Structure 1
Amino acid sequence: MILVTGGAGFIGGNFVLDWLANPNADGILNLDKLTYAGNLTTLESLKDDPRHVFVHGDIGDKALVAQLLKDYQPRAIVNFAAESHVDRSIHGPADFVNTNIVGTFNLLECAREYWNGLDDAEKKAFRFHHVSTDEVYGSLSATDPAFTETNSYEPNSPYSASKAASDHLVRAWFHTYGFPVVTTNCSNNYGPYHFPEKLIPLVILNALNSKALPIYGDGQQIRDWLYVGDHCSAIREVLAHGKLGETYNIGGWNEKANIDVVKTICTILDELQPRPDNKSYSEQITFVKDRPGHDRRYAIDAGKVERELGWRPAETFDTGIRKTVQWYLDNPVWVEGVVSGSYRDWLQKQYS
């Protein structure tokens, strides 16, 4: 088996589904804390699949993690477990420190102890894949070159600072202990099963429910957008063939301003599910006060992973965003299950 942490979240859940879509793939031991963003209904199709073992638990629980490693003997760990929403990190940074830093430390220590007990062949085959973000690199100006793996770390939010710290721990465990790690830093993901606090699912669902489409500041913040299915394929490639101790930036080669992303979603919805009054969903766009420390631009240079491992995203932004909008239109039951009272309270607090 492989151990996947955070495998009921957005990216982790998509990875589990993608991995097990291959009938010959190794089984997955899925450890998830099931915070507000963890959703087992995402994995409903796997409920009778013996290759998927779900455990409700925290990567910070050293006794639990050590016991799982002993019982299931995974050949690899893929660590998605993280608090990941910048706005939430501004309001409550403690959870981000506890999960992203302390939790990663605990996971590393349990995994290192487990790895030390393996025989030579198993040790050589073992991998610890740490999944991180481009936000650790800070912000770019409009003319700066895209982030490469050699950019210095300049995190600007409690979220990105906590992820930067976790990246440094992973790097140190490789250089100090020889522990076999790889790290990937990805750009903004989007796609199916995305919790609707992030921009793209929030805009889709607010549009369909005749609510305002909130845009921070002037909407000119630029992000590189990566379809989650492409991210999953990149992780598989790095896990299988990445060089130990290396970092690989995973991006979509799709830089878009937030306002343009929102207008594109509105145009697709105008076509696929027009408003009853036949007006454009773009009339619901509302500009709100910018958040503190909002990075202006992120851009990923994913050339290294293409040169060394032959990976390149399959989706353009146009194809990926259309698939995403269609998925939300086709899956109202999943959406209804996610939009809980606590989620609505969060939206009211953040965008009132």
Structure 2
Amino acid sequence: MKKKTLKYIWFVLFLVLLTAGFYIIRIKSTDDMRQNIYKQWSKYYVVTHGKSAYVKTAASKKGTTALSEGQGYGLYIAIEAAKRGADSKSEFNKLYQYYLDHRTAGTQLMSWKQIIKADGSIEDMPNSATDGDLYIAYALIKAAELWPDKAEAYKKQARLLLNDILAYNYNSETKSLTVGNWATEGTDYYDLVRTSDVLPEQFDVFYNFSKNNTWKVIKSSMLDSLEKMSRQHKAGLFPDFMWVRKSGQVKAIKANLIASKYDGDYYYNACRMPYNLARSKDKQSQKMLRKMMNFFMKQKTIYAGYKLNGKHLDAHQSASFEAPIFYAAKKIDHNHKYERLHQQEKKVFVNGLSSTNYYDSALTTMAALGD
């Protein structure tokens, strides 16, 4: 009897050690993958320019293009990498310095686009884009938590930037963020909302940091508008841009008004929404996210763009669409409901990052590093 009991104990111990071994290998494998992707991101897209650094979003005969969106992602990625053990502080500070050097005149908002010419000179566009500034402010707040030696400087700049976002990029009638400081009161664009600017987790962080109740109002109002859009179609998809009127009316914009013929479709702005909503734990965000994810679960293939009714635009695929869905499936899949999507979209990490497609690479890196 004692021998049988002893054998049983050793068998159970063997299973425990085997399971623990597989778990450790899996964790190490995941950590290695994350470190490799971050290294690739830095190598391909983070370019040192004197004492600063910018994120290269495109290159042509005219020069290299940098965007405030890319700069915000670069700062955010450096923070997420640091949380995973990477030595990214120096990179963060160089990216931060570039932001400081390229603010729009008289504000803390970053110029939405810069052209870095062959001779090293830089041409700045005069306007801002809200998505870049939101990520920059968020990254500064998180940097203050990670690196105490510069915490006060980071927090001071974050306060200044948040104040200017509210001063220049806020529609006080609809309680929503505008797309940039060029969408001014008195113009129709004042009511224009980029759906990917709905960042509920960031809005919570901004409120907790600043104690400015406006961020609570913005979160509530923009999520309400997003939910109105979600209800308009069974797929629960969002357009890249939508009108949010003072009357409460919400509708997708028409084609070719801002960026492309797909302005009113689920395209290269709205594709960020599974990631954005998955970052937040509030019930409203989770409800809209699950509706989207239930739609994607019915798709054998994730395509690069959809009409709001769920019809895919063409047969093209893109990591920009797949990586956020992978992240969302992993984040909310407590009962393995979205396991197929999680496993299916792992393929975006298999071959590493593209060295030529900044947007695919940015969203893939964010999905890989995100907790």
TM-score between both structures, scaled by the size of structure 1: 0.27
Please identify which structure carries the higher strand content: 1
Please identify which structure carries the higher helix content: 2
TM-score between both structures, scaled by the size of structure 2: 0.26
Higher RCO structure, 1 or 2 (CA under 8 Å, sep 6+) = 1
